[in-house]
Amino acid sequence: MGRPAVTQQCHVLPRAGSAPDDAEDAVALRADAWPVRAAVADGATESVYAGLWAQMLVDVLVDVGADPGDVGAAIREQQAEWGGAVQERAAEQPWYVQSKAAEGAFATGLVLSVREGGTWAAASIGDCALFHLHDDRADAWPTDDPDAYTNRPALVPSRGTDRIPVPETATGTWAPGDTFLLATDAVAAWLLRVGPRSVLDADESFEGAVEHARAGGALRNDDATLCILKMEDLPKDDTRSGHE
Amino acid sequence: MPYSAEISRQQPTAFLFLLDQSASMQDSFGGAEQKGDAAPSKARVLADTVNRLLQNLVLRCAKEEGVRDYFHVGVIGYGERVQRLVQPTDEYETGTGLVPISHLADRPRRMEQRVKEVADGDGGTTEQRVKTPIWFDPEAKNGTPMCQALDLAAQTVRGWIDEHPGSFPPVVLNVTDGEATDGEPLRYAQQLREFATDDGETLLFNVHLSESEATPVELPSSRAELPGNAEYAETLFQMSSRLPFSMRSAAEQEGYTVDLDTRGFVFNADPTALVTFLEIGTRPSNLR
């Protein structure tokens, strides 16, 4: 079994006016073996330690892949981890951090698993998005309607006493030369409006494109996350990566 | 579009609570005494409600690294005297009398242990001890100097607006159980509402606490919805601002029918109507 030939590039940008550490989106990748997996998550701003929960979510999603049963079981395990991690951190904090930590954190999340044989599978809770660019097409999942991003999404709770929504799933086939994009909600709505290729083919950096789109009102001022996986024609010795 | 300014740490908004502390606030809510209930006083219910609301405002802004100053907050009591019930320390003195929410979060008057029912994950509930912040205690003496309170509110929002001209405008929430004893409040209310940011005029909402068992009149759109024999209800109705878009949405989520003329006003409110309205009135727009 050959090593995957993937060119990857992932960006996590905080909302304008915030410090880089304020970003509560998270991304994780596993591209050194088949199946290649990538996950994005968006921690809900209203909760505390949401960035931590988003990171714990993507870490476990790239481990387990897109089988909905596995995803549910892995989230339950991660909830137990989260409780311990946060209790310790919050114990020394003021009343409002303790009080809010007790309510738990929430995040949306999406995982993509690309198999060597030419098939892929994805699972999602909430409104992160997957784009599959192949031939002249750009297929969006779970929706191709940018206006759908105004609704309240389903959320993965960090607290074991809260119900975990059932993940939505999708499957498909791929061929060398195809590109997959994973995005959190604000970027997804923007890409649906302008077309994902216009962003990929632009001369400017993703960071520059985001800045311009925000200034022009085309992109909502929210954390902006995009993960690009290009399935190459030939196996390569190494992969290129960037993480901002 | 007015009342659409994004609320951020760079561009916060302000909430100012005006709380009636007159002698009649010692009485319980309308109907409770007649039923022989050992009901708490209106002053007690109001202090508990506003302390809890301040707690919720803090929690809306709380992140693990601290409380983000999306809101500046003030509480003015009016009864024996007109007084600020939360005071900034010198360090946070902005000259307006409004306190950044992070400052409020870090300096409650005291913390009390309360027992709270929480879900146990198996469909039942379990009791949990939680620390509850208290910023001020109930008080009920003398008359109802509402005009003075509205005047102090006007000075407060004027100073704050000078410093935050682009912000979502201040929201003033006045809770009373009686008529003003120091003049005609409508004039003061109109004066207060004229102070505006680039995003709109100051919003003034009024909640009248019940004296009788009559059903509350919540969020009326026209005078026709008010009780026929209460001139005082008409005055409070006229004093009250129309709800902006975001708060109309919040009201609809709570099950109310609203239109463009819906006023931020509740007449004859019971404790439930009071809590619900204060929740709606503190939902200005999305935080960033």
- Which residue(s) pair with A168 in the sheet? A124
Residue with tokens 């410093």: B163
Specify the CATH class of B13-281 in words: alpha beta
Question: Three-state DSSP class for B73?
Answer: strand
Specify the pairing of strand A168-173 against strand A119-125: antiparallel
- List chain A residues with CB under 8 Å of B288: 15, 17, 221
Under the banding of pLDDT at 50, 70 and 90, the label for residue A39 is very high
Interface touch B106/A48, C-beta < 8 Å = no
| Cβ contact B273:B218 at 8 Å | yes
Residue of A nearest to B104 (CA): A96
Q: What is the pLDDT of residue A242?
A: 40
**Pair of tokens at residue B185:** 């409040």
How many whole angstroms separate alpha carbon A138 and alpha carbon A140?
Answer: 6
**b/e map B254-284, b = 16+ CB within 10 Å:** eebebeeebbbbbbbbbbebbbbbbbbbbbb
The residues, ordered by sequence, that sit 6+ positions from B278 with a Cβ below 8 Å of its Cβ are B49, B50, B53, B173, B207
In 3D space, the residue among B160, B248, B165, B167 whose CA is nearest the CA of residue B205 turns out to be B248
Predicted ipTM of the assembly: 0.84
pLDDT at B37: 57
pLDDT tens-digit readout, B100-118: 999 999 999 999 988 878 7
Window from A62-71, B72-81, B227-236 with minimum mean pLDDT: B227-236
> What does the pLDDT look like over A98-118, one tens digit per residue?
988 988 999 999 999 999 999
Mean pLDDT of chain B: 90
Tell me phi and psi for residue A94, to 5 degrees.
-65, 170
Which residues of chain B make contact with A89, given a CB cutoff of 8 A?
64
Cβ atoms of B285 and B6 within 8 Å: the answer is: yes
**Domain parsing of chain B, residue ranges:** 13-281
Q: Note the pLDDT of residue A243.
A: 41
Q: How far is B270 from chain A (nearest CA, A)?
A: 28
Number of neighbours of residue B107 by Cβ within 10 angstroms: 15
Nearest-neighbour CA in chain B from A34: distance (Å)? 37
Residue A15 main-chain phi, psi, to 5 deg:
-60, 155
- The total number of residues written for chain A in this structure: 244
Please report residues of A whose CB lies closer than 8 A to that of B121: 160-161
Q: How confident is the model at residue B228 (pLDDT cuts 50, 70, 90)?
A: confident
What are the Cα distances from residue B246, in Å, to B3, B243, B252, B260, B282? 8, 8, 10, 12, 10
**pLDDT band at residue B32, thresholds of 50, 70 and 90?**
low
**How many Å from the N-terminal Cα to the C-terminal Cα in chain B?**
18
**Lookup: tokens for B96:** 């307006």
Contact A96 B67 (CB under 8 A): yes
User: How far B118 CA lies from chain A's nearest CA (Å)?
Assistant: 10
Q: Are A184 and A128 in contact (CB under 8 A)?
A: yes
Q: Number of residue pairs across A and B with CB atoms under 8 Å?
A: 42
Of residues A150 and A225, more confidently modeled = A225
Nearest to A161 among B62, B105, B120 (CB): B120
Q: Is the pLDDT of residue A240 over 70?
A: no
Task: Tell me whether residues B121 and A15 touch, CB distance under 8 A.
Answer: no
User: CA of B9: which chain A residue's CA is closest?
Assistant: A17
Better pLDDT: B2 or A235: B2
Mean pLDDT of B57-73: 93
Q: Under CATH, what is the fold of the domain A6-231?
A: Phosphatase 2c; domain 1 (3.60.40)
Predicted local confidence at residue B212, as pLDDT? 77
- Look at residue A16 and tell me whether its pLDDT is greater than 70: yes
The domain locations on chain A are 6-231
Whether pLDDT at A210 is above 50: yes
Decide: B44 and B17 in contact? Cβ < 8 Å: no
B110: contact with A, CB 8 A cutoff: no
Tokens 């919540």 belong to: B218
